[in-house]
Amino acid sequence: MKMVTWLARHGETQWAVEDKFNGLADTDLTEQGREQARGLAARLSTRPIAAVYCSTLRRTIETATIVAAPNGLKPLPRKTLHEVNYGVWDGMQRQAIVDQYPDLYAAWVADPAAVAPPGGETGYAALSRSMETLRQIVAHHPEQEVLIVAHKGINRLLLCDLLGMMPRSYRDRLGQQPCALNCVEWHDGEPMVTLMNDVCHVGGA
């Protein structure tokens, strides 16, 4: 028997619309983001999901709460699933970061796994904590299906690692749209990615 992990990104936030970096700042979903979550809820409503996990940030809790409702579940927040910590860049628009930190931003773009924003964390650090949590969840739910609602950066890091790709490529090789759905099947503890960045449940997609 296989274990199935559905990995989703939270719905749209206003900071995403404004192209602002959003790490640990606790932003809310837009109404569009809530509608995206309702679409994901409808899509997964017939799946035998045993548990729903998310980060401790409001945008993932709200998304997970909406998606978990048809299954009569409540989300289980885990701090280790929160987004990459962008430090002082959190809440800044991308162009402002380019203007104020041109050399550091260029180095970060070249290798975001190894380079951290001021006061933030590297991709490697974020991958370490989130992958450990993913493995724990998988071990705790043998032969079951679970949903994890996390973040753009975290999902891309996890998928990059599961696919055997270099973590430094997580930002420029893998996409994660708001409320995107990914699927990882686990066979004897080994992962097989069977779905990535699917948004067919999002209105207008």
* Coil/strand/helix, residue 175: coil
> Which tokens is 107 given?
């180095």
Compute the radius of gyration of the chain from its Cα atoms: 16
C-alpha 131/C-alpha 1 separation (Å) is 22
How far is CA 5 from each of CA 34, 41, 182, rounded to the nearest angstrom? 22, 15, 8
Active site residue 31: no
Selection from 132, 185, 138 nearest residue 157 by Cα: 132
Q: Which of 35, 62, 83, 145 is catalytic?
A: 83
C-alpha 97/C-alpha 185 separation (Å) is 38
How far is CA 113 from each of CA 160, 161, 204, rounded to the nearest angstrom? 11, 11, 33
Active site residue 82: no
Q: Which of 10, 82, 141, 201 is catalytic?
A: 10
Question: E strands, the chain, where?
Answer: 3-9, 49-54, 76-77, 145-150, 181-187, 190-198
Catalytic residue annotation: 10, 83
